[in-house]
Structure 1
Amino acid sequence: MARALMIQGTGSNVGKSMLVAGLCRAARLRGLSVAPFKPQNMSNNAAVTADGGEIGRAQALQAMACGLAAHSDMNPVLLKPETETGAQVVVQGKRLTSTRARDYAALKPTLMGAVLDSFRRLGARHDLVIIEGAGSPAETNLRRGDIANMGFAEAAGVPVILCGDIDRGGVIAQIVGTQAVMPPVDADLIKGFIINKFRGDPRLFDEGYAAIGRMTGWRGYGVLPWFAEAWRLPAEDALDIAETPRRAGFHIVCLRLSRIANFDDLDPLSQEPGVRVTMLPPGQPIPADADLVILPGTKSTRGDLAFLRAQGWDIDLIAHHRRGGRVLGICGGYQMLGQNVADPAGIEGPPGETPGLGLLDIRTVMGGDKQTTLAHARHAALDLPFAGYEIHIGQSDGPDCARPFAQVNGRPEGAISADGRVAGSYLHGMFADDSFRRAWLAALGAQPSDHAYSAGVEATLDALAAHVEAHLDVEGLLSLAA
């Protein structure tokens, strides 16, 4: 078995995912065969794996940091929220069921076997596994049956480093308070702490850093300053997508749906110098100067159709189209553009049918097996190849499918309206393909650049590893791995 180290946090969004990615790349540059692992993740931003499953997008980025193809063993339990109180449960890459939050507690202990199986398979293939926790181990109400934090660490026998976020304030209380509420058996698994997201001169925190060590008895492994280039990496949260400054250029507006999913489609576009990307929050009208409106993926197509209408965006979209604007729907957004969406089996919620936006002459029926496949496609109008992936439930068909968006393995995919200004596709990830992105933007009248997106991500991961090496005791952390 490989050696392993687990990074847990004092809360959500303290920077665990980025820290693990940096440590993974640093270990790889030291010549180690390293793999990422997250026992349980909750995210609607998923990646399709080489083995035909799906995992959290953050673990796919961490796999890239390791120089590996994403694999379903890297995130064996993925929870994809469908409503305020329910989520789809994906186990080892495949949909298991949908459950309400209050019922998941009963299901959770049965998943530990799958979690440990995936962890052991990874460990058998690599020198080192770096594990990311979820939320915080201080949530003691979730400790019974836990598979995400201390429950996993105890079952797998791995040492833990606790990461606190000084940017949000109160980091001393975050770390000391976490120890105070934990049972001793869990506190004993924690071997040290890291301070993350420091802005300014780290020496100003010397006294606080020493105080944490005195009060907890844990060793400090460093203070990691704010990593300013993080915006260049694929965002795990839609709120983290870098919005471009208000400037002249081609204006793309993406609707921030309530169950937005797989929004990493926006990352390559947001880094184009000649493109302005606006992630439109609820309650704001679609700007009149928008050149293109994107309806992104969603985990609940019918639910987000209702959400979209509640914002008045349906009326705005009709006006935008009438003015000559363009619309692109991706995955769930594609389904919304049609005449209706039917879910007779209640896969995404109560059974029923919801009228669509009517901008494409297609109809969608939820059902069948979930598609999670990597795809090599060719854009129909541009006759250009590009790589992408599909991750959806449901099939769409209708007259506008006679004008496909692309060809995938010789079959038509997607649809385009008769006037050519509304398009829909189930394909995610297409804009990460530099040649396709440039040609597609140029065809829309934008001014694309020579920016190489994937190469930029790789360079940023190298910079992140150097940042981690410069400020943390990486040698000590790696020697701690058991």
Structure 2
Amino acid sequence: MPALMVQGAGSNVGKSMLVAGLCRAALRRGLSVAPFKPQNMSNNAAVTVDGGEIGRAQALQALASGRDPVVDMNPVLLKPETETGSQVIVQGRRVATVRARDYAALKPSLMAPVMQSFARLKSQVDLVLIEGAGSPAEVNLRAGDIANMGFARAADVPVLLVGDIDRGGVIAQIVGTQAVLEAGDAAMIAGFAINKFRGDPRLFDEGYALIEQRTGWRGFGVIPWFAHAHALPAEDALDLRHASRGGALKVVCLILSRIANFDDLDPLAAEPSVDLVLLRAGQAIPGDADVVIIPGTKSTRGDLAYLRAQGWDIDLAAHVRRGGHVFGICGGFQMLGRTIADPDGIEGPAGTSDGLGHLDVATIMTADKRLARVTGVRNGIPFAGYEIHIGMTEGPDRLRPFARVDGRPEGATSVDGRISGSYLHGMFAHDTFRAAWLSGFGATGTARYGAGVEDALNALADHLEDHMDIPGLLSLAR
């Protein structure tokens, strides 16, 4: 079946969003389509219907394609745990934790599962739209590459190269990429597109023609800045921004150094009643905060030390003394307890850390990782969510669970009810649940989050139809 790959002249040029928009555009043309990313690096993951995990961006692209997410859509996922090491997920399952310098030796063995997953997807749909990672211009990483040109050549897939004009120097991005590529890799590029243009795109006509002249590549469009991008889940924690809508309820989320599954915050950011403050390093927890959220993290003990280094533990204790509420999600739930033990060094150096002590529970890390889509009930409100964590948490406050999941108690709540924690992700995406949770703080939930994401995907497809040669792109696929 035909396939087309979108690569970037740099990181964060908008590849994920473009692939999502192209998936929706192809779907609306009556094609069965699936997204594919050979290798992703992100701590923002989704649990698939076949019981594994993939990058959250590929789950969004699956939604745009009208398909359930499966592990074959992102066969290799790297989840950074430290500055120099990452957990390696292959076809949905953890296989190793390696240092960056050792990953190069592992890469050649990963091409086989990548090609296996790609072949399965190809057999199921009319079109596969593929997203590269980083940039093919990083020729120092070309040996053993599975993410960009290494994959494109192995799979014989044509490439659309995308440049980001918003960061400047887009002519050099595109022309320079061709200049550093080996001839066989450069031959895989069938055309280019310019993304994130602000203002009148016709002002770039001369530059566009210059790129075509210098490279010999066909241009497929200049894409203006997409104003509704904020309505789609962000892939990178660097994209998280203060999301104040002037709401009366101030919800403060601590942006940890290894924050994971941060799309939990997106539905709250969409609520007019909520002033969502994303707190960065060096900032104090505001004294007028109503609720503080400690989010998920890929490194619980490491980020607990990071939290303390910011003085947030002291701020949090003061917040609790003032009568404030605290909610911990996944790793944030573990931090709220008395201790976190990692005797086998699964997430880092072996040892035990004192927790924040706001919940009477204790956590022990285990090698088994729980990956599950679940259904739950809280205060009579049913919802769906997912678990993606290692570790087991037990203690007296578990007698007051946050919710019941598949009939069992889940999470924990303090005696006074103001501190709670849960391993569940994704529950805020459910409008009824979110409205009920907000009502507990005197706020009203009115947003239609899922419908808003669908509207944004349709608007993105319209946007690309207006500014790209979609029929020409689809004719490239082979």
Does TM-score exceed 0.5, indicating one fold?
yes
Q: Does the residue aligned with 1:7 lie in a helix, a strand or coil? A: strand
The one-letter code of the counterpart of 2:388 is I
Q: Does 1:401 align with 2:398?
A: yes
1:266 counterpart = 2:265 = yes
1:77-156 matches, cutoff 5 A: 77-156=76-155
Residues 444-455 of structure 1 correspond to what in structure 2 (within 5 A)? 444-449=441-446, 451-455=447-451
Instruction: Look up the equivalent residue of 2:471 and give its one-letter code.
Output: E
Shift of 1:324: 0.4
* Corresponding letter in the other structure for 1:414: G
Q: Is the CA contact 1:250–1:447 (under 8 Å) kept in the aligned structure 2?
A: no
| Alignment of structure 1 residues 244-255 onto 2, 5 Å | 244-245=243-244, 247-255=246-254
> For 1:402 and 1:248, how far apart are their aligned partners in 2?
33
Which residue identity does 1:156 align to in structure 2? A
Is the contact made by 2:244 and 2:277 (CA closer than 8 Å) also made in structure 1? no
* Deviation, structure 1 residue 336: 0.3
Superimposed CA distance per residue, residues 166-215 of structure 1 (whole angstroms, 9 cap, x where no aligned partner): 00000000000000000000000000000000000000000000000000
3-state SS in 1 of match to 2:228? helix
- State which drifts further: 196-205 or 436-445: 436-445
C-alpha separation in 1, matches of 2:246 and 2:457: 28
| Structure 2 match to 1:475 | 471
Deviation, structure 1 residue 248: 4.7
* 1:241/1:267 contact within 8 Å kept: no
Say which SS state the counterpart of residue 372 (structure 1) adopts.
strand
Contact 1:231–1:241, Cα closer than 8 Å, also in 2: no
Contact 2:246 2:272 in 1 (8 A): no
Contact in 2 for aligned 1:197/1:225 (Cα 8 Å): yes
Aligned to 1:315: 314
* Partner Cα distance (2:380, 2:405) in 1: 12
User: What does residue 460 of structure 1 align with?
Assistant: 456
Are 2:427 and 1:441 aligned? no
For 2:64 and 2:107, the matched residues in 1 are separated by 29
Is 2:408 aligned against 1:411?
Answer: yes
CA contact (8 A) 1:223 1:471 kept: yes
Structure 2 counterpart SS, 1:120: helix
Secondary structure of 1:458 counterpart: helix
Letter of the 1:391 counterpart: I
Contact 1:286 1:316 in 2 (8 A): yes
- C-alpha separation in 2, matches of 1:52 and 1:278: 33
The separation in 2 between residues aligned to 1:62 and 1:471, in whole angstroms, is 20
Supply the AA of the counterpart residue of 2:404. Answer: Q
- One-letter amino acid of the structure 2 residue matched with residue 409 of structure 1: D
Structure 2: how far apart are the matches of 1:159 and 1:119?
15
Q: Which runs of 5+ in 2 are unaligned?
A: none
Q: Distance in 2 between matches of 1:376 and 1:412?
A: 12
Q: Distance in 2 between matches of 1:169 and 1:273?
A: 34
1:39 aligns with 38
Residue 384 (structure 1) aligns with: 381
Aligned-residue CA RMSD (Å):
0.8
Using the TM superposition, give the Cα deviation of residue 238 of structure 1 relative to its aligned residue in structure 2, in angstroms: 2.4
Once the 2 structures are TM-superposed, how far is the Cα of residue 237 of structure 1 from its aligned partner?
Answer: 1.7
User: In 1, are the aligned partners of 2:245 and 2:272 still within 8 Å (CA)?
Assistant: no
Deviations 1:24-67 (A, max 9, x none): 00000000000000000000000000001000000000000000
Distance of aligned partners of 1:248 and 1:432 in 2 relative to their CA distance in 1, 3 Å threshold = closer
Separation in 2, partners of 1:397, 1:429: 22
TM-score (norm: length of structure 1):
0.98
Structure 1's consecutive aligned runs of 4 or more residues displaced over 6 angstroms after TM superposition are: none
- Where 1:167 maps in the other structure, the secondary structure is helix
Q: 2 CA distance for matches of 1:274 and 1:411?
A: 32
Task: Please say if residues 245 and 271 of structure 2, whose CA atoms lie closer than 8 Å, have aligned partners that are also in contact.
Answer: no
Cross-structure match for 2:208: 209
Q: Deviations over 1:92-112 (max 9, x none)?
A: 000011000000000011000
Deviation at 1:369, TM superposition (A): 1.4
Residues 431, 445 of structure 2: 8 Å contact kept: no
1:267-310 alpha-carbon deviations (Å, 9 max, x no partner)? 00000001010110000000011100000000000000000000
Q: Deviations over 1:215-268 (max 9, x none)?
A: 001000000000000000111122323533373510000000000000111000
> 1:339 — aligned with what?
338
SS at match of 2:266: helix
Secondary structure of the equivalent of 1:370? strand
Q: Once structures 1 and 2 are overlaid, which stretch shifts more, 232-241 or 280-289?
A: 232-241
Secondary structure of the residue aligned to 2:123 is helix
Aligned amino acid, residue 441 of structure 1: L
AA aligned to 2:427 is M
Q: Counterpart of 1:228 in 2: which secondary structure?
A: coil
Tell me the TM-score normalized by structure 2: 0.99
DSSP-derived class of the 1:130 partner:
strand
Instruction: Name the CA shift for 1:25/1:248 in 2 (closer, same or farther; >3 Å).
Output: closer
Q: Write the letter of the residue equivalent to 1:290.
A: A
SS in structure 2 at match of 1:252: strand
The residue matched to 2:19 in structure 1 has which SS? Answer: helix
**AA matched with 1:31:** G
> What is the deviation of 1:383?
1.9
In structure 2, how many angstroms separate the alpha carbons of the residues matched to 1:406 and 1:430? 11
Q: What is the distance in 2 between the residues matched to 1:306 and 1:243? A: 24
Contact 1:331 1:424 in 2 (8 A): yes
> How far, CA to CA, are the matches of 2:62 and 2:268 in structure 1?
23
- Structure 1's unaligned 5+ residue stretches are none
* TM-aligned CA deviation for residue 463 of structure 1: 0.5
Amino acid at match of 2:101: R
Q: Is the 8 Å Cα contact of residues 231 and 240 (structure 1) preserved in structure 2?
A: no
Please give the secondary structure, in 2, of the residue aligned with 1:125.
coil
1:388 is paired with a residue of what secondary structure?
strand
Residue aligned with 2:366, SS: coil
